[in-house]
Amino acid sequence: MWPAQLRCARAAPGPATAGLGYGARVFDVATAAVEGALAAGARYADARVMTTRTEGMRAQNQVVESLRQDESAGVGVRALIGSSWGFFATPCLDNASARAAGAQAADIARASAMVAGPALELAPVTPAQADWSSAWEEHPLQIPLEAKADLLVGVTRASQDAGASLAGASYAVWDTERWFVSSEDARISQRIVECGAYMEAIAVGDSETQRRSYPGVLGQYGTRGWELVRELDLEGNAVRIAEEAQALLRAPQCPAGTTDLVLGSAQMALQIHESVGHAIELDRILGWEAGLAGTSWLELARLGELRFGSEVMNITADATLPGALGSFGYDDEGTPAQCTDIVRDGRWVGVLSGRDSAALAGVAAGGTVRGDGYSRLPMVRMTNVGMLPGTSSLDEMIAATEDGVYMDANRSWSIDDKRLNCQFGCEIGWEIKGGVLGRMLRNPTYTGIGPQFWASMDLVGNETERRFWGTPHCGKGQPVQTGHTGHPAVPSRFRNVRVGVRG
Amino acid sequence: MSPVGERELEICNRVLASVGDRAEAIVQVSTGRHALTRFANSFIHQNVAEDSTEVSLTAVVQGRLATASSTDTSDRGIGRLADGTVTAAGLRPPDPHWPGLAAPGETAEVDHWDQATWAASPVERAAVVRAFVDAGPGTGAAGFCSTDAVVTGLANSAGLSQTGRATVAQLDALARTGTSDGLGAEMSRSLGDLDGGRAGATAAQKARASADPVELDPGHYEVVLEPACVASMLDFLARAGFNAKAHAEGQSFVHLGEAQFDASVNLWSDASDPRTLGVGFDGEGTPHQRLDLVRDGVTVALAHDRRSAAQAGTRSTGHFSGDHAAGPMPTNLFLGSGTQSVDALVGAVERGLLVTDFWYIRFLDPKTQVVTGLTRNGLFLIEGGRVTSAVRNLRFTQSFVGALGPGRVLGLGDDGRLATGDLGALYGWFHHVPTLRLAAWNFTGGAKG
């Protein structure tokens, strides 16, 4: 009665001890999984052997509260029978277990056919035989733990000494290797190293708390090495955020009303993620995510002509940006990474797609299907969905604003299941009067309806203001998967926005 | 048949032997079968299953601790895990709040298990989906049917050991018209308890009834909240409120001994109740204690793990969340039911809203429990004690603790059942809750913003 995995043989060692021939052996495992599915009746199958090493540490008030190092390895296989999919995953990395996993995936696909959908094809992709790796200067798992702990403890000490009630700091590292094989003869190996860090200062008042984070509420992460963390200069910002958190407890509330709104690039990244990135996922548009994540206000029939926002709005989904968190060489269906126009001069022109959804929609495969580990079914995910720069500096935007509010650093985010009605809270705001920043404002919030909000955007930050934000926390799917997404963003101005919503 | 968790404990002991006297250690080994059949547009479009194994080790070297996990149970894999974790622990600064290992003691007598659910096939899950889809002719269907089974063993170098097992079967799905969605949800330890036809009929009825919604101006409305909404409220109260670490930091709303809730509110945690799910101990090996959190409206307790308990000078209540940084969290929550039927709750409302579900709730501030979120999957106007029309979804900005405050709870339903809330759907949390009638809810926006 014991789960089968306790009895599996293990022909393949973990990646940390990988030696010569490891890649060939795990390609054999993936091939066995595909062969198992085909032998059991699949008309198409693919398999990923995947190893993931992660490390994370968090300190609060000069104490390291947690240090985790996790490692997983296994194979996941997809089988397509008729128009029905099945997926099975196992941590057993031997050929016999992989072959059995392929057969189980086919059995599951057969059960799916009890409630079958319409005919399904896969958008064509030239099968690749390739090796790809992200780039790094300092591998983050080779930085001594003592040095990482010193960094986190040190910045929390500085923040606490500057008055923070609670000073927290953390970093996270991922080192992921994939070996992909398909029944169309694709054979791709890929390694992606990612890392980043986060820091916060919380001031606790009698009736509320105020938080300032750096570099943003979601931290900053990329497909880079530890050099990314060094460049963040956590030490140089620890005192400032502590002082701002305390100042917020004393600051006046953001007034309620309708006014012009300037958003910093960190907040713009989340605005883009929630109201553009999710809305353009083709699986949502097709209704496949209706059960949990919801659908989209975008109607496929209007692709190419629907107005998404003002004419200064230009958005791309670019999985090829070096160092950005949503970058890779090939997606988990073997489709090459690419740059896709999403919104051009305010018109909706593109989607995020996979091979099956693209075929149904009649578009080319977008190469955006990715799975969160070997045991999760690859699905449509954001790559680097971001804004192309405009012509204004942040200073010019503020100077051009007679009466408004400047907000940055997200504190709360909520959007409806069609990605229309959004409400965001930011950590900090400043009044703008006569083109000059004035008083600090606490609890700033704004709300709007997606296309009207984007239609009100009239100034877009220039190339100098552009930052490639990355967030590793995007939840989607059932079972829920966590995706790593990138968002190039610039400060932008919006006219006549409702601000100051409170409970 | 082998005793429950014997194989998992055997792996735990191999890990402890590999660590040896280099460190204090706690090991948990979980094996499982997880399967989820997902459907949309009335057909199964994703159908997944996995066999899982996870070995989690925390090693402590003179107050310096590190946690690591692996999927590799080979001797080589266990050796690497032990060596790597002990080394990592030795390289970090000491933790002044390390409370030490739990000593051998009470074992958890909980067994929320169904053998047939452990063995459930994709054909059985597809049959539940088929019944859901067939129960809503003329509507589209989207959702999932899942079965999960886990067997776990835990041991530490102080001699403590625990074993447990649990199964969970869940059906959570929508019936959809072109303009509305209706929710049908059931969960149990047994797949055999799920009735796809019943849930599908409920969802279809909701969807059809809300197919032609009216616009309603935002404002304060009396509300009748169905169990999915109430479960969402408990998600936030539990995570950030009854969390002893958050309380010690000043970030919780909790004031022990004060009547922070209406006198009709009773809230407790009890993993041993046959109506709930899951295993009976936490990741530190402490059995989940039956814990009263709110008694007749008075906040009386916090959930503790060993770390928060040591700092507060008390005992762990068995609610380690798995992350010391996040702090403890009460699980297996029960909100005491009342005696009124849902019809009676609705019948007592002169003008208000009946809410099926909430969506995308986020804190504006954890200390005040002010959140924003939206209604979903069925919102209805109540006038003169009866539902008169469907309403287009609304956004709210509301304090959850304020909404349940003294004088604010006007009725509790007799329909207590397991439900998942907005966060629970992401993290696998569930609570046993009834429908509530509340005096006021602050709706702050609608379809026009």
Q: Dihedrals φ, ψ of B320, to 5°? A: -60, 130
Residue of A312, A282, A253, A299 lying closest to A445 (CA atoms): A253
**A64, A112, A165 ranked by CB distance to B44: nearest:** A112
CA distance A499 to chain B (A): 11
Contact B42 A115 (CB under 8 A): yes
CA distance B420 to chain A (A): 12
Average pLDDT (A75-96) is: 97
Q: Count each helix (H run) and each strand (E run) in chain B, helices first.
A: 11, 19
Whether the pLDDT of residue B418 is over 90: the answer is: yes
When the pLDDT of each residue in chain A is averaged and rounded to a whole number, the result is 95
Mutation target vs A (from B44, B236, B423; most A CBs, 10 A cutoff): B44
**Residues 87 through 106 of chain B touching chain A, CB cutoff 8 Å:** 88-89, 91-93, 95-97
Residue of A213, A209, A218, A199 lying closest to A165 (CA atoms): A209
Predicted confidence band of residue A217 (pLDDT cuts 50, 70, 90): confident
Q: H-type helices in A7-165, by residue range?
A: 22-39, 95-112, 145-161
CA distance B32 to chain A (A): 7
CA distance B284 to chain A (A): 14
Predicted confidence band of residue B1 (pLDDT cuts 50, 70, 90): low
Report the SS3 class of residue A74: strand
Cβ neighbours of B398 (radius 10 Å): 23
CB A296 within 8 A of CB A280: yes
Contact A448 B46 (CB under 8 A): no
CB B133 within 8 A of CB B101: no
CA distance linking residue A227 with residue A206, whole number of Å = 40
Percent of chain A scoring above 90 in pLDDT: 94
CA distance A40 to chain B (A): 16
CA distance B269 to chain A (A): 25
- Choice between B105 and A2, residue whose per-residue pLDDT is larger: B105
CA distance linking residue B236 with residue B253, whole number of Å = 11
CA distance linking residue A23 with residue A26, whole number of Å = 5
Check residue A11 and give its pLDDT: 43
CB A241 within 8 A of CB A233: no
Predicted confidence band of residue A14 (pLDDT cuts 50, 70, 90): very low
How much is the pTM? 0.95
Contact B447 A68 (CB under 8 A): no
Contact A60 B325 (CB under 8 A): yes
Residue B217 touches partner A, C-beta closer than 8 Å: no
Show residues of chain B in contact with A67, CB under 8 Å: 65-67, 88-89, 92
Nearest CA in chain B to A410: B364
CB B148 within 8 A of CB B32: yes
Contact B48 A87 (CB under 8 A): yes
Check residue A2 and give its pLDDT: 29
Separation of CA B382 from chain center: 30
B167-203 pLDDT, tens digit per residue, is: 999 999 999 999 999 999 999 999 999 999 999 999 9
Average pLDDT (B108-136) is: 96
Quote the DSSP letter at residue B430: -
Show residues of chain B in contact with A294, CB under 8 Å: 359
Is residue B3 packed enough to be buried (19+ CB in 10 Å), middle (13-18) or exposed (0-12)? exposed
Contact B47 A117 (CB under 8 A): no
B3-54 pLDDT, tens digit per residue, is: 899 999 999 999 999 999 999 999 999 999 999 999 999 999 999 999 999 9
Is residue B91 packed enough to be buried (19+ CB in 10 Å), middle (13-18) or exposed (0-12)? middle
A415-444 pLDDT, tens digit per residue, is: 999 999 999 999 999 999 999 999 999 999
B270-327 pLDDT, tens digit per residue, is: 999 999 999 999 999 999 989 999 999 999 999 999 999 999 999 999 999 999 999 9
Predicted confidence band of residue B107 (pLDDT cuts 50, 70, 90): confident
Show residues of chain A in contact with B364, CB under 8 Å: 411-412, 425, 443, 445, 502-503
| Strand B219-225 to B140-156 pairing | unpaired
Q: Dihedrals φ, ψ of B288, to 5°? A: -60, 125
Average pLDDT (A361-389) is: 98
Q: Dihedrals φ, ψ of B12, to 5°? A: -55, -45
**B41, B362, B365 ranked by CB distance to A117: nearest:** B41
CA distance A204 to chain B (A): 6
Report the SS3 class of residue A295: coil
CA distance linking residue A297 with residue B243, whole number of Å = 38
Predicted confidence band of residue A19 (pLDDT cuts 50, 70, 90): low
CB A312 within 8 A of CB A458: yes
B126-146 pLDDT, tens digit per residue, is: 999 999 999 999 999 999 999
Nearest CA in chain B to A17: B80
Q: Dihedrals φ, ψ of A92, to 5°? A: -80, 110
Whether the ω angle into residue A215 lies within 30 degrees of 0, i.e. cis, is yes
Report the SS3 class of residue A254: coil
CA distance B369 to chain A (A): 10
**Residues 101 through 130 of chain B touching chain A, CB cutoff 8 Å:** 118, 121-123, 125-127, 129-130
Contact A2 B7 (CB under 8 A): yes
The CA-CA-CA angle for residues B244, B246, B248, to 5°, reads 65
CA distances from A85 to A115, A370, B293 (A): 11, 16, 46
Residue B45 touches partner A, C-beta closer than 8 Å: yes
Show residues of chain A in contact with B361, CB under 8 Å: 414
Q: Sign of dihedral through CA atoms B414, B418, B422, B423?
A: positive
Report the SS3 class of residue B179: coil
Show residues of chain A in contact with B52, CB under 8 Å: 3, 5, 91, 375
Contact A421 B69 (CB under 8 A): no
Q: Which two structure tokens, joined as six digits, stand for A330?
A: 């090939």
Q: Residue B415 carries which side chain, given as an amino acid letter?
A: D
Q: Dihedrals φ, ψ of B6, to 5°? A: -60, -45
CA distance linking residue A355 with residue A332, whole number of Å = 10
- In 3-state terms chain A splits into helix, strand, coil percentages (rounded to 5) of 25, 40, 35
Strand order of the β-sheet with B267-269 is B298-299, B291-295, B267-269, B333-335, B431-433, B417-419
Predicted confidence band of residue B109 (pLDDT cuts 50, 70, 90): confident
Average pLDDT (B414-426) is: 94
Q: Residue A87 carries which side chain, given as an amino acid letter?
A: F
SS3 readout for B353-374: EEEEEEEEEEEEECCCCEEEEE
Contacts of A311 (CB under 8 A, 6+ apart): A345, A346
Show residues of chain A in contact with B397, CB under 8 Å: 423, 501-503
Predicted confidence band of residue A502 (pLDDT cuts 50, 70, 90): confident
